[in-house]
Amino acid sequence: MRPDVLALALVGRQRYELASRCGSPCDGAQDGLFLMALTDFHSTGLALRRWRLLHRIKQAHAAEIFGVTQSTISRWEAGSIAPAPDQYARLWSVLSARLEAAADRELAKLVCESPRPVHIICNTTHTLLAASSSRRGEFGQEDLTGRSLWPYATPEIAAAEYRMRDAGEPCVELETGNNDSVAVPIRSSRCRWTRMMLSDGSAVRLVETLAS
């Protein structure tokens, strides 16, 4: 990953956590999420294109949905420009995977009942969808379901994200490294990411701790 992009990601995480500790999760946290999202807007563009194709939506219609021009949709999908913070919020609300179908809820149940430290996130937004009890214990007291975990990513996780995207591999093993987060502490361990498809065609990621 380019050093300037990685630095931007780390600044975003710091601003997100500062806003959360100060009890103002709107402006500061939103800005922090946006800065983190800048490191991965190529994946957002791919997810947007996948969403359009799955729902048979043309770029012109997508432009109406998101309140932008058709050329903006095209450039988002190509990864040539990044959406603004308010546009990211709208994109993520639409593109985020949801465990709504019966088969998807069964998958969530298996994860929640697993004795191992494991969780599922949306592959695009990194929103936490389900977690085992041991994983929730690692996260602390707060229930993070429905929140993006990307602001807490370590440099190692951010780099692995790019490797997974660029290589197009459905499964990646990585060393997580440590972060300095109080809200979501990450301790150095070896993990496996496995990309899976839900019933509606959206992508999720199974995150398993292999060794700590």
* pLDDT greater at residue 170 or residue 12: 170
Contact 81, 75 (CB under 8 A): yes
pLDDT at 67: 93
Q: Using pLDDT thresholds of 50, 70 and 90, give the confidence band for residue 40.
A: low
Lowest pLDDT segment from 21-25, 45-49, 166-170, 193-197: 21-25
Class of domain 3-95: mainly alpha
Partners of 4 in the β-ladder: none
Question: Tell me: the pLDDT tens digits for 84-100?
Answer: 878 887 887 888 888 98
Taking the domain 102-211, which CATH number applies?
3.30.450.20
Distance, in Å, from the CA atom of 147 to the CA atom of 16, rounded to the nearest integer, reads 12
pLDDT of residue 23: 41
What is residue 18's three-state secondary structure? helix
Cα 6 from Cα 182, distance rounded (Å): 21
Q: Which residue has the higher pLDDT, 25 or 195?
A: 195
Contact present, 190 and 177 (Cβ < 8 Å): no
Domain ranges of the chain: 3-95, 102-211
> Rounded to two decimals, what is the model's pTM?
0.73
Of 173, 176, 171, which Cα lies nearest the Cα of 205? 171
Q: Tell me the C-alpha distance between 199 and 8, whole Å.
A: 35
Q: In a 10 Å sphere around its CB, with 0-12 CB exposed, 13-18 middle and 19+ buried, how is residue 113 labelled?
A: exposed
pLDDT, tens digit, 9 for 90 and up, residues 136-149: 998 876 789 988 88
Burial class (CB in 10 A: 0-12, 13-18, 19+), 75: middle
Distance, CA of 130 to CA of 145 (rounded, Å)? 7
Residue 51 near residue 73, CB atoms below 8 Å: no
Please state the φ and ψ torsions of residue 131, each to the nearest 5 degrees. Answer: -150, 145
Instruction: Provide Rg for the chain, Cα atoms.
Output: 17
Sort strands 118-122 and 128-131 into parallel, antiparallel or unpaired.
antiparallel
Q: Which residue has the higher pLDDT, 23 or 120?
A: 120
- The pLDDT, as a whole number, for residue 16 is 44
Q: Look up tokens 């019966």; give the residue.
A: 102
pLDDT at position 96 is 83
